[in-house]
Structure 1
């Protein structure tokens, strides 16, 4: 996975313009977050999913960006959390052990066929 570090709120405007974007909110102090990230990275197959921009948010360093994401996209903050957007609209979100590569892949690929 080729992560783009999400480090400033101006990047949220960039994310809104992407056909598909995934934001992974990660807490470096949380073992559940580390496990969820590892599971996602091990399952990820670039050839199975349509083009998607992958953003990684370090919650301990950039909590204010997480708060802004919750406000702008209407998704309550969780950690760990994955949010998938299509043209700036949330099409999938989940947290903790509910983060699932197959669900993400199915949501993105189904939306890209429309």
Structure 2
């Protein structure tokens, strides 16, 4: 973590991210990982906001509205765990409370409006 960023910025980021996770889980989405996939030191687009006293959040989705449906096997997800980035194994943990079980994904898997 960059020590030049005010501690309140990190707390605000956690607060907003936590709200997004709660909304995703409330909508029945699985496989949301928090605080484990991206390093928090650098000049990536999501980080530059912190130098301007605003919260910037980088988000990604496994598919998009224009993507074709795809079948994801659980074994492929297990192989994709990220050692060294906070996700040492594919399974329940504090940053991954509802692992995605591997099913056909497509448009309906990612359509969500967060209010």
Q: Same fold (TM over 0.5)?
A: no
More helix by share: 1
More strand by share: 1
